[in-house]
Amino acid sequence: QLQLLDTFCHNQSLLQQLNHQFHLWKQQQQKLADFRQQCAENEAKKQLLHYQIEELNEFALKPGEFEELDSTQKRLANSELLSRGSQSVLQLLSENETANIENLLNKTVSYLDELVEADEQFKEAQQLIQQTQIYVQEAFSEVQHLAYRIEDDPALLANTEMRLKQALQLAQKHRINVSELPVYHQQLKREY
């Protein structure tokens, strides 16, 4: 019936204008809905970034810290092995009264001294053994120094393992390599 009335009144141009305005209005409605949805998505992303940044701020992993924690954990977890092994090495190098490398090298140098007096061709072997003596003494000093620094601290081991576990969980959560956490943290701060 409306169509008959519009035809009778010759309102075709008005109808076309109305139809055109209606389509423009619908387009604007869609743009407004899209804009609102984009705003909601941006707000959700902003909240997620804020949460992630706060979580990483709280954890505060420094560059290189994970590797340091991993090294500390291995050292603490193996403190008994390191202590026993160090003592065994020290015994073999110098501390064992009956047989040790230092005494054997001293005897070898003594024999080579006699051989060099009889034949200069043994001079190079003598020098090599003397150099080996120096290396053995340096190795003894280094192992002795490290042996005194071996820690057996169960509380520190537990704290270190807990921090390592948290770092691994955070990295897995953000789908990145654990050593990239500090850089990722800074990237999120810049995005926010």
Q: How many angstroms separate the Cα of 186 from the Cα of each of 60, 72, 97, 176?
A: 11, 26, 59, 14
Nearest to 127 by CA among 108, 141, 140: 108
pLDDT digits (tens, 9 = 90+) for 75-107: 999 999 999 999 999 999 998 888 899 999 999
Amino acid symbol at 4? L
> pTM, whole model, 2 decimals?
0.67
Sketch the domain layout of the chain as residue ranges: 1-59, 63-192
Residue 1 above 60 pLDDT?
no
Question: Where is average pLDDT lowest: 6-20, 31-45, 101-115?
Answer: 6-20
Give residue 10's pLDDT.
Answer: 65
